[in-house]
Amino acid sequence: MADFERLQAAVEAGDRETAVQITEAAIDEGLDPHVILEPMTEAMGVIGDRFSRQEIFVPEMLISARAMKAAVALLEPLLIGSGHKPDKVAVLGTIRGDLHDIGKNLVGMMLKGANFEVVDLGTNTSAEAFLAAAREHEADLIGCSALLTTTMGNMREVIAAVAEADDMPDLRVIIGGAPVTLEFATQIGAHGWAPDAASAVHVATAVVATARGQRDLPGLIHPDALAANA
Amino acid sequence: MRLQLVVCDMLMLPVEHLAAESPHEIVMSDLSASLHVEPLPLRDRIQEEIDRIEAEDPDVDAIILGYGLCGGATAGLVAQRVPLVLPRAHDCVTIFLGSRERYAQEQAATPGTYWFTEDNVKRGNAFMGWLLGSSERSNDVRSTYEEYVEKYGQENADYLMEALGDWQQHYDRGAFLETGLAPDDVALERARQETETRGWRFETVLSDLTLIKHLLDGEWNEEFLVVRPGQTLVMSYDEDIVKAVEPTRP
C-alpha cells in the first residue's frame, strides 16, 4: 500500500527522489491518480502556509514545488486520460521594465497546484501583451508582479487596458511583488492583491469565484479581507 | 548645523570624501548593505539608529539618510524631535547617478543592468546573494550556494542556483559606477570579471555625486524630502518617490 503520509512529507521536504518513487509505486498499484495527487496538493498547502508565516523562505518553496512537479509529471497522462482539466485560466508576467521573475514563477507553480491553467508570459510584459494573451486563452485572471519600485507604477497601464477591454468584462487583475502594497493596489484599482505566492492562490481563487458570481466579496480582495469573510 | 548621517555602506567612498568638504558637522553611522536581504530588518535597523541618535545626541539639528526608498525599506520611518532628510531616490543607483531622471533614462534604455559600485564589490556582493534568494545574510554567491548544499543537499542546491539565478539570463549589462574619487582599478576589474562570467557586456558609467553633496551640505532642494518631526516617511507611488504624512490620530 502506497504510503501517502511519506509522499506528503517528501514533497514538504523537497525530496524529489522519494516523491517520485512513492508515486511510481502507487501508480503500479493501480490507484486513482486523483487520490495520489491529493497528499501532494495538501503538502503544497502546508508549505504555502508555512511560507506565509515566514517559517520557510523561497528556496524551500521552490524545492517542494519541484518535487511535486516531478511526481505530477508521472500522473499527468493518467489525469488527462480521466478527463481532468483545469477550470480556471491565469495569465502571468512581470510588469513592463521588470526582469525579476522568481516570485511570479512561484505564483505560477502554486496556481497550477490549485487547478489553474497558467499562461506564463515571462518578464517585461506590456499591457498589450497581457491583454492579447488573456483574449487568446479566454483567461479569468491577469497576474502582474514587480520587484522594483521603479517598475511597479507600470501596473497602472494593465489596469487601464483591462478596464477598456469591453469584450472581456469578467477579466480580473491581481498584483503582487516585494514592494507592492495593499495601499498601492487599492490606489490603482486592482481586483486582488497578495503579499506572497502562497496567499496569491487564495486571492486568485476568490477573485475568479467573485467574477463568476459564485462568491460575493466587495472591493479589492486580499488575505485579510478573505479572513474577515471566511 | 550638526547632522547625524545614517548611511548604507554601499555609499561609503563618496560619503567619506564629501563629508569632509561639508560646511556642517557630520556624525556618521554606517549600516551594512547586507541588511537589504529583507526590507523589514533594514527598516527596523535604521529606525533603531534614529531612536538612538534622538536619545543620545541633544545637539543634533537633523538626521540625514544615505538611503533612497530601497524597495520600500525606508517607508515607515519616523523621527520624533528633529527633521529626517533623504534624497528622492529609488535606491543607491539613483543616488550615484545624481538624479531620478537619469536613472529613469538608464532603466528605460537598459532595464537588465546589474550595477556595481566600488563599495559593493569590496564588501561582498550583498545584492547578488539577495537576488539569489538567500534567507541568510549571505554576502555572495559562493556562501549562498554553500548554505543551500548544507540545508537541502547538493542536487537541490544546484537546482536552486539555477532557478534563483535565472534573472541573470534576462540581464545583459554589468555597469560599474565610477566616482573618480579614488583609484578603483581593483574593484573595476572584479566587476568586469563578474560581468564577463555571466556573459553580459561591461560598461563603466560616470557617477554624478550632486545628490550626496547636497545631502551632506544641507542644500535640501526639491530633490530631497524633509520629513518633519512626528511625520512618517511613506512611498508616494509617483515621480516624487517618497512623501511625508501626518500621524493618524487614534
Q: Considering only CB atoms, which chain A residues are within 8 Å of B163? A: 62, 66, 102, 105
Number of structural domains chain A divides into: 2
pLDDT tens readout for residues A103-141: 899 899 889 878 899 999 999 999 999 999 999 999 999
Q: Does B83 touch chain A (CB under 8 A)?
A: no
Please name which of B168, B207, B200 lies closest in space to residue B184, comparing C-alpha atoms: B207
pLDDT tens readout for residues B143-174: 778 888 999 999 999 999 888 888 888 899 99
Task: Calculate mean pLDDT across residues A12-35.
Answer: 94
The predicted pLDDT at position B180 comes to 87
Q: Does A186 touch chain B (CB under 8 A)?
A: no
Q: How far is A14 from chain B (nearest CA, A)?
A: 8
Mean pLDDT value across chain B: 88
pLDDT tens readout for residues B117-130: 888 887 766 566 55
**Domain identity same for A36 and A134:** no
**What's the length of chain B?**
250
How much of chain A exceeds pLDDT 90, in percent?
73
Cell of B76: 515607515
Distances A95 to A4, A99, A175 between C-alpha atoms, Å: 39, 8, 10
Domain enclosing residue A216, as ranges = 88-228
Domain enclosing residue B171, as ranges = 100-206
Q: How confident is the model at residue B219 (pLDDT cuts 50, 70, 90)?
A: very high
**Nearest-by-Cβ selection for A149 from B155, B159, B235:** B235
**Number of other CB atoms surrounding residue B140 within 10 Å:** 17
Query: Quick check: is B165 in a domain?
Result: yes
Size of interface A-B (CB pairs under 8 A): 87
Q: How far apart are alpha carbons A110 and B19 in whole angstroms? A: 49
A101·B131 Cβ contact <8 A:
no
**Nearest-by-Cβ selection for B167 from A99, A151, A152:** A99
**Nearest-by-Cβ selection for A57 from B103, B108, B135:** B135
Whether residue B134 is predicted with pLDDT greater than 60 in this model: the reply is: no
The predicted pLDDT at position B137 comes to 45
**Domain identity same for A55 and A125:** no
CA A213 to chain centre: 21
Interface of A with B in 14-73 (CB under 8 A): 14, 16, 57-60, 62-63, 66
Cell of B41: 530588518
Interface of B with A in 222-241 (CB under 8 A): 235, 237-238, 241
**Domain identity same for A158 and A195:** yes
**Domain identity same for B220 and B165:** no
A97·B237 Cβ contact <8 A:
no
Q: Does B109 touch chain A (CB under 8 A)?
A: no
Q: How far apart are alpha carbons B228 and B246 in whole angstroms? A: 9
Whether residue A4 is predicted with pLDDT greater than 90 in this model: the reply is: yes
Range with lowest mean pLDDT among A82-91, A174-183, B103-112? A82-91
The predicted pLDDT at position B37 comes to 57
Number of structural domains chain B divides into: 2
CATH code where residue A94 lies: 3.40.50.280
Task: Please write down the HEC assignment for all residues of A57-96.
Answer: CHHHHHHHHHHHHHHHHHHHHHHHHCCCCCCEEEEEEEEC
Q: How far apart are alpha carbons A159 and A193 in whole angstroms? A: 13
A101·B170 Cβ contact <8 A:
yes
The predicted pLDDT at position A74 comes to 94
Q: Supply φ then ψ for residue B112, to 5 degrees.
A: -90, 55
More confident residue, A34 or B201: B201
Task: Calculate mean pLDDT across residues B89-114.
Answer: 93
| Contact (CB, 8 A) for A207 and A174 | yes
